[in-house]
Structure 1
Amino acid sequence: MAVAERLCRYYQTWFSNPSPEADELVALHAQEDKAAYLEKYFHHEVEKGKMAVERFLGLNREWVGGRALDFGCGAGGLTFAIREQTRSALGIDLEEYKLSFARQQAELRGTTDIDFICYPGDRIPAADSAFDVVFCVDVMEHLPKPDESLAEIRRVLKPGGLLLLSFGPPWGHPHGKHTWTRLPGWWTHLLFPQSACMKTIGLPADTTWEQLGLHRLTVSKFERLMRASGFRQLYRQYNIQRPVKWLKHVPGVRDLFISEVVAVYRK
């Protein structure tokens, strides 16, 4: 075992998993028990979705009663929460098996004016100006071409429509690698070579972070993307642990501590 890998493995023993619920989801996914995994994943997303909708309701209510798109909806937990506040809701995602589960839930719940469509990750399957609001929650850091995705979101929003966006932790954060269970160590992805991290996870050494759906989106990169996107910022909040709250105003250093970005934009 290479020195870097040994050090990486040892470093993880200093920390505990900051997201215990992820353990069960990871275990179910590894067992390839899709039914059990989707059931647990969906209800987890429903609770997160309710909190996300409540938060955005507190920031802006113009979108209530409108037509909504949930961009990167997964199994639809957030989409159902959105539908409770809107005229209609469409969820889109790359993974058909999650969308199929979401459709089953809509039928079981008797939820109308909600739909789920699989798309290849490029052009959104909707007409120009089709939506009053687009939700993009916990998705930005997983987009391989976020500039193109933002252009598509802008295309399907009506003039004056809203983009409600949140994501985290960004790449620079101690847990920016999103691998809670196997790499609980703070800043492991920045301190150790990629190959050592992957072997510690149990993957081939040549596996990339991009293959795991992480595209190194820092807060600074996000800001540059949004400045070039054509959207007008109405609100932006950076969440950070209270003891180091003052660091969110320090360029460069802040990228290492901001845990979440919450923002509202207008087309």
Structure 2
Amino acid sequence: MRVILTYHATRLQRLTREGSDLLSLHADLEWLADQGIAVMSLDELLADPRRAGVAVTFDDGSRLDGFPHLHPGLGLLPSMLQVLTHAKRRLPGLCVSNFVIASPQARTVLATHLRAEFGASLMDSDWWTSAHASGLMQLENHSWDHNHPLLQHSVQRDNQRGNFLVIDSAEDAEAEIAVASDVIGHATGRRPRYFAYPFGDVSPYLRDVWLPTRGAAIGLRAAFSTEPRAIHPDDTAWALPRFVCGRDWVSDKQLAAIIQHARLSGV
């Protein structure tokens, strides 16, 4: 059984376990510890297909991941890193992979659009170094600019924005993925080993052509979708599945069902 659980710190509909990934992360890690389920890094989970356990990933890399944040409606919120620090006492193998957006310009645009909802500095990278140094979080590649629809211009060759399926050429892949790895690696001193497809959009070109031939050369070992299932031994390394908090589970009961199904299916 190999399961990957994914969280977005910006899912803050309300301060309940069901309404926020921040509180869900805390509750889920406590539940996993109570059940005696091994929680480990992606490196460990993927090293041996016979290994059983859970890995945790974060997407988008907001400031909420690394620093306490003053939310305009919810007040001062603890960081996801603080939740991890608390959980580490019971889960010694805990180390999450955080897929961040590399482009400072793209992050500034996103933060500006989201300022009224989330407050200032949402997408700053000033927390990257300390989060990486904590030993609880490794920063990974979520592309250069997410090809996000809020951007006026993306690096996609025809400026087609809003999905990642249009990243279907070597030119686009280099701009979105290879350059992002360079920037993140320079910022942290460690090149990303993993890539998460923005929007969960698995471009067949990236999965079948570019990543298998170019990925290792830029330091990548695997890539991740948001297909909601456990990892199967026959899965390609360039589109491994992940469950997403809020979409696939919001309670102990639903998380238990995911784990139980993975165990019963023998993967």
TM-score by length of 1: 0.34
TM-score by length of 2: 0.34
Larger proportion of helix: 1
